[in-house]
Amino acid sequence: MHKFFLLLGLSVVLTTGFQNKASAESNELVRVNIEFLSALIGPTKVNGNPWDSKAKINSTAMGMISDMIAPGSGVAASTVAAAVAKNAPQGISAPDVIGYVVQRGPTIRNLVNIAGIPMALASNRTKTRDSYTPRFYADYQNWPMFPGTRFQVQLWDMDLADNDQIAVVEITYDEIMRARDEGEPTWINVADQSMNQLLYVLISVSPSIGNTPPKMNGYRWN
């Protein structure tokens, strides 16, 4: 039986039958802890306009940032973030980012009806105002990973009228395993998936220790 609690946040813990299944699957699965920390939003929309239509942009600087994130450029994400902070329109011209993460692809049987629940990365009450590097609040503990498992991230710039879609991107199994192996917060380049509206997603991944049930920590999206 699945136990599902939704109070101030979302905490999903599997109880009945987990221990038996965990032992049977322990040789087939990789289990990790995944924390979604932040993102780096592109300084302009795909059409070249700033997120705030009244803001002015430095076209030369925007072109430089685009070159920095090109495949094979070798430029570190921290350098790109510094360039965005220096050259992109700031203050109220920066986006108010909201959005969620949801697991896609295969999972274990006990998680079939749970893994696909969207979790808020930043909601109206938790968003970082006017920032290209919003703070996120969602993590997956002792989470089972298959080669086809991936995490979809959807973000918007919250507006008084219609929210502007920033991006829909996916972080793959291989990228999550690379972040685990690096052993520190890792910027995942997703610029190609979003036409440069979302440049990076920052995650922290560590190996699971012990045989505890999978758990999702955060707020359920809407």
Q: If you average pLDDT over every residue of the chain, what do you get?
A: 87
Give pTM, 2 decimals.
0.86
CATH of 2-220, one of 3.30.1330.10, 1.10.10.920, 2.60.40.150, 3.30.930.10: 2.60.40.150
Cross-strand partners of 206: 33
Whether pLDDT at 132 is above 80: yes
Question: What is the C-alpha to C-alpha distance for residues 165 and 157, in angstroms, rounded to an integer?
Answer: 6
Instruction: Give the model confidence (pLDDT) of 150-166 as tens digits.
Output: 999 999 999 877 899 99
* pLDDT value of residue 142: 97
Residue 205 phi/psi, 5-degree rounding, is: -130, 135
Would you say 143 and 33 are in contact if contact means Cβ atoms under 8 Å apart? yes
21 contacts: CB under 8 Å, gap ≥ 6: 108, 109, 110
* pLDDT value of residue 70: 87
Whether pLDDT at 24 is above 80: no
Q: Where are the domains of the chain?
A: 2-220
* Dihedral, 99, 132, 37, 9 alpha carbons, nearest 10: -40
